[in-house]
Each structure stands twice: as structure tokens, then as C-alpha cells.
Amino acid sequence: MSEQLALLPGYLTAHLQLTLIALLAGFLISVPTGVWVSHRPRAERLVLGAAGVVQTIPSLALLAVMVPLLALLGRWSEAAFGARLSSIGFLPAIVALSVYSLLPMLRNTVTGIAGVDDSLIEAARAVGMTPRQRLLRVELPLAAPVIVAGVRTATVWVVGTATLSTPVGATSLGNYIFSGLQTRNFNSVLVGCVAAAALALVLDGLVRLLEQGVAGRRRRRVAVAIAVLAALYLFAGITLLAGGAGRAGRAELRIGAKTFTEQYILSELLALQIERRTGVESRAVSSLGSTVAFDALVAGEIDLYVDYSGTIWATLMGRESAGESRVEVLRQVERFLVEEHGIVMLGALGFENAYALAMRRERADALGVDSLGDLARVSGELELGGDFEFFSRSEWRALERTYGFAFRQRRSMDPSLMYQALAAGDVDVISAFSTDGRIAADDLQLLDDDLEVIPPYDAVVLARAALLEERPGVAAAVRELADRIDERTMQELNLAVDRDRQTPAAVAARFMETSL
């Protein structure tokens, strides 16, 4: 727990930065827009409609879609102004959160202004106010309670939604939740949720104080609320600038990690190894979505991370397995990455983490299922659970087509919950990773891919090609890790985190001491 709390200042600060800046941007866009459309019925319908549509996009998707969008925009702005936009991390999160905060503030501005009594509008005209004075002295003050209610709604939404900016590479309280869910550390999840809820309550309370102060003309309340808000903004601004300056000044490496245990361990291991050999410090950019990690590497937002040959083969190259050997797949993937994306492979770590279908051993025995061919015969009576991306990956489509699976039902779920569901008998078969420590721990049976549909998944370290020239020492240090981790070892390391609740950093450090 204390380990979790040690992370709180950093995560909370980052979360505060995201929330406050997104809200400010959203406020500055939505209130003037709301005012502008409020006497223009056609524009009002259009703008509110658009904001409503945006609101129906799931927030996680909205965040994720900002990454390729900003990458595109970045290429354009680089060509036009020579300035590159960061496509992962703070910027996509801010843009998405701002957009997400628009609707409540926009709608309440329009509603608030529309709700001002017509007789007061006429009175404002009759005493000789110009349209602008009418807006500033009558319409906005009278609409203020409704507008502030919108700000409060947006505040609570944005604080909550900001936890989802972790997968696009922005640090937030979501780091607790994502890494906690993946490493089955529910203390971590709890800390993240409680901190986010507390932050939401505090910010909401401040806006409420401001609202009451303004409505009741309590100067002290207004002053207190404004002072606290200003202090928070100042704090967010200073820490943001300091952080930016610090990053630019320190020539640190950035190591990416996707959202599962093995990735956390390996990124820690890479960091330790690099520091041991070269003294270069690195920063973890963890819990990146699967394709976000690759995009981030291409965009130069991170310097290296671990991926799997089969993932690149299937997802990026769009290939299906035709029984190529591990070596052959590695060779083709390596060539593809260099030629298409300017990315180098710094070696395979020595183990495969393959997609596989797994069942409880006793259940598999009872049904007489050993291989995927056997499974196809009984699939009509079984339920299949898969991680979030499994059913949309080409491997699954190839499996389904080749073996002719027709499961009674399939469910997408969080990987860590999937194993519980299997143990409880809620699903019969799950998509598993072959290095998952829980396979041995839960006595699961991996089913043979007898038709060789699933490609090999060698864990490989990918790096920006420029890194080789910039830091030859780093590349050399990473290459030392080649072929040093076998499948059994990786399973044990994963299990130490997943079952024994050790931190990925501790597990990586112990492996380094004992085995390297």
C-alpha cells in the first residue's frame, strides 16, 4: 500500500493537470459557442447535435482515436511549420478530454440563456443596453447558475474520464487502475478509484462554492474559491512547465509497455539492464494500448518496447500463418519493420508468448479435447472468453474459419477476470497467452494448434532505428538480453506478479541479480 501511495503525488499532479487544462479549454470553447448559437436556432441545433454525437462516442475510443488523428495532424504541421505534434501522451488526452467536456457546458449555456425571462430581456433593451451589455450584464449573470451547473457536470465527467488517458500514454490516476487490474493488485485499483473520486469531489465542491458565492454575493466565498482554483491552476501550470523542461533537459530514454504484466516486467528489466551497462536513466511509459505502443515508437514518442513477432505479422502485415517457422517469421518481420517503418529489432528474448486457447485440464479430459481440431467438434456446447482485442484480430478469424468453430457464446472481457471466469466455470475456453503464469498455477491445458493457424510469437525488442546511432551502448546492452529468457522463466516471473502480488520492478530486479 505504501508503495502505491508513494506514486500518488506524481499521478495526482498529472491527473490534475489533465483535468484542469481540459476543463479550461472546454469552458473557453463551449461558453462563447453557446452564447453565439443561443440566438441562432439553426446553428444551435447543429452545434448541440454535433456535441451530442461526440458524447455518444465511448470515452476510451475518443481518447484512442486522437492518437492517429494527431499523428496525421502532426505530419501536416511538420510539413507546414516544421513543428511536430506529440501524438501520444498529454496532447491527445487533453484534446479528447476537452472535446468530451464540451456538451454539458455548451448545453447548459444555451439552456441558461434561453431560460432568461423575456420581460427582463425587454427591460434590458428599454433601459438602453446595447446587445453586448445585455449579454454581459443581464443574460450571462442570470444564466450563470445553469452554466455553472454544466461546469460541475463536466468537472466530474472529466476527472473520471481522465483515468482513461493512461492507454494513450498520459500519466493519470488511471495508471493505478490499469496496472492494478493487469497485475491483479486490487489495492492499486482501489487507490486509483478513491483518489479520482476524492479529486472529483474536491473540484466539484470548489465550483459549488464559487456558484453559491456568486449567487448569494458572498464575497469571501467567491474569493476563497477563486484563490484555491487559481492556486490549483498555477500549480498545474508550473509542474507542467517544469516537467516539460525537465524532460527536454534530461536525455532520458522512454521505454513503452502495453497493458499486461509481462510487459511491465520486461520494461523494468530493459530499464535496469540499460542503466547497469550505460548509466542512462529511463522513464517507463506504461499501459499503452497495443497499437498505441507501436504508433508511439514510430512517432518517436518512445524509444523502445517489447512486441511479439506474430502480432506484427498478423496485425500490421496482415499475414496469416502458412506454417512458417519461428525463424522465418522473425526474418520477414524484421525486414518489414526496417523497410516500412524505420524500426529495428534488437533481438528476440528467447521465449514465445503465443495466443492459445486454454481449458481447465479436467474439463478438457472429460470432453476428450486435446487440440483445436477436437475443440471444434464440441464447440457448439461451449462458451469462449477472449481478451478485448482477441475477437477482432486476424488470428481469431483464421482460427474460426480453419477449424470451423461455432461456440455457443463468446464474451470479451478483462484478461485478469477471464481466468476467474474459467475457474468458476462461467466460460469453458479462454484465449490465453502461453507465458501466463496462471496456466501452470490454475492447471490449464493449452490446446494444440494442429493446423498451425496461429503464427509464432517471439518476444522481440523494437527500437527506433536512430537509436542505434544516437546510443550504440544502449543497443548493445539490450542485445545482451537476447535468448536469455525462456518460456518457463517468463511464466514464473509473471506468476510472481499475478499470484504473489510482487511488483514488476521487484520481480525484474531479482531476475537481474540471479540470472544475468
What is the distance, to the nearest Å, from the Cα of residue 281 to the centroid of all Cα atoms in its chain? Answer: 24
| Residue ranges with strand state E in 296-400 | 304-308, 343-352, 355-360, 383-386
Nearest-angstrom CA–CA distance, 156 and 199:
9
Strand partners, 222: none
Q: In angstroms, what is the minimal distance from the CB of 133 to other proteins?
A: 7
Separation in Å, CA 455 to CA 259, 332, 352, 435 = 21, 12, 10, 15
Q: In angstroms, what is the minimal distance from the CB of 140 to other proteins?
A: 10
| Residue ranges with strand state E in 187-333 | 253-258, 282-288, 304-308
Question: H-type helices in 173-218, by residue range?
Answer: 174-182, 186-216
* DSSP category for residue 448: B
DSSP letter string, 419-438: HHHHHTTS-SEEEEETT-HH
Nearest-angstrom CA–CA distance, 442 and 325:
30
Selected range binding other proteins among 95-103, 117-125, 314-322, 505-513, rule: CB under 8 A? 117-125
Q: In angstroms, what is the minimal distance from the CB of 119 to other proteins?
A: 4
Nearest-angstrom CA–CA distance, 240 and 18:
10
Q: Which is nearer to other proteins, 134 or 254 (CB)?
A: 134
Q: Which is nearer to other proteins, 140 or 232 (CB)?
A: 140
218 binds other proteins (CB under 8 A): no
Residue 301: closest CA among 86, 75, 69: 86
Nearest-angstrom CA–CA distance, 227 and 220:
10
- Which amino acid, 279? G
Q: Which is nearer to other proteins, 116 or 314 (CB)?
A: 116
Exposure on the CB side of residue 36, measured as CA atoms within 13 A: 10
Q: Which is nearer to other proteins, 127 or 440 (CB)?
A: 127
What H or E segment, with its residue span, contains residue 445? strand 444-446
Cell of 371: 487440440
Residue showing cell 528474448: 349
Selected range binding other proteins among 115-123, 371-379, 425-433, 442-450, rule: CB under 8 A? 115-123
126 binds other proteins (CB under 8 A): yes
What H or E segment, with its residue span, contains residue 132? helix 131-134
- Which amino acid, 147? I
* DSSP category for residue 454: S
515 binds other proteins (CB under 8 A): no
130 binds other proteins (CB under 8 A): yes
Q: In angstroms, what is the minimal distance from the CB of 130 to other proteins?
A: 5
User: Quick one: which of 120, 227, 241, 516 contacts other proteins (CB under 8 A)?
Assistant: 120
Which of positions 140-199 make contact with other proteins (CB under 8 A)?
A: 141-142
Q: Which is nearer to other proteins, 24 or 215 (CB)?
A: 215
Selected range binding other proteins among 35-43, 125-133, 201-209, 377-385, rule: CB under 8 A? 125-133
User: Quick one: which of 71, 138, 429, 439 contacts other proteins (CB under 8 A)?
Assistant: 138
212 binds other proteins (CB under 8 A): no
Cell of 345: 529489432
Q: In angstroms, what is the minimal distance from the CB of 103 to other proteins?
A: 26
Which of positions 233-252 make contact with other proteins (CB under 8 A)?
A: none
Q: In angstroms, what is the minimal distance from the CB of 124 to other proteins?
A: 8
475 binds other proteins (CB under 8 A): no
User: Quick one: which of 123, 136, 194, 201 contacts other proteins (CB under 8 A)?
Assistant: 123
| 3-class DSSP assignment, residue 79 | helix
| 3-class DSSP assignment, residue 509 | helix
Q: Which is nearer to other proteins, 141 or 425 (CB)?
A: 141
Q: Which is nearer to other proteins, 145 or 373 (CB)?
A: 145
Q: In angstroms, what is the minimal distance from the CB of 207 to other proteins?
A: 19
Selected range binding other proteins among 121-129, 286-294, 306-314, 398-406, rule: CB under 8 A? 121-129
- Which amino acid, 116? V
Selected range binding other proteins among 61-69, 130-138, 163-171, 493-501, rule: CB under 8 A? 130-138
User: Quick one: which of 3, 78, 122, 381 contacts other proteins (CB under 8 A)?
Assistant: 122
What is the distance, to the nearest Å, from the Cα of residue 159 to the centroid of all Cα atoms in its chain? Answer: 15
128 binds other proteins (CB under 8 A): yes
Nearest-angstrom CA–CA distance, 489 and 389:
26
Nearest-angstrom CA–CA distance, 181 and 503:
13
Residue showing cell 527536454: 248
User: Quick one: which of 127, 234, 238, 406 contacts other proteins (CB under 8 A)?
Assistant: 127
Q: In angstroms, what is the minimal distance from the CB of 60 to other proteins?
A: 41
Selected range binding other proteins among 104-112, 137-145, 218-226, 476-484, rule: CB under 8 A? 137-145
Q: Which is nearer to other proteins, 108 or 278 (CB)?
A: 108
219 binds other proteins (CB under 8 A): no
Give the binding-site size for other proteins (rule: CB under 8 A): 15
Q: Residue 110 in contact with residue 48, Cβ under 8 Å?
A: yes
129 binds other proteins (CB under 8 A): yes
Q: Which residues bind other proteins (CB under 8 A)?
A: 119-120, 122-130, 133, 138, 141-142
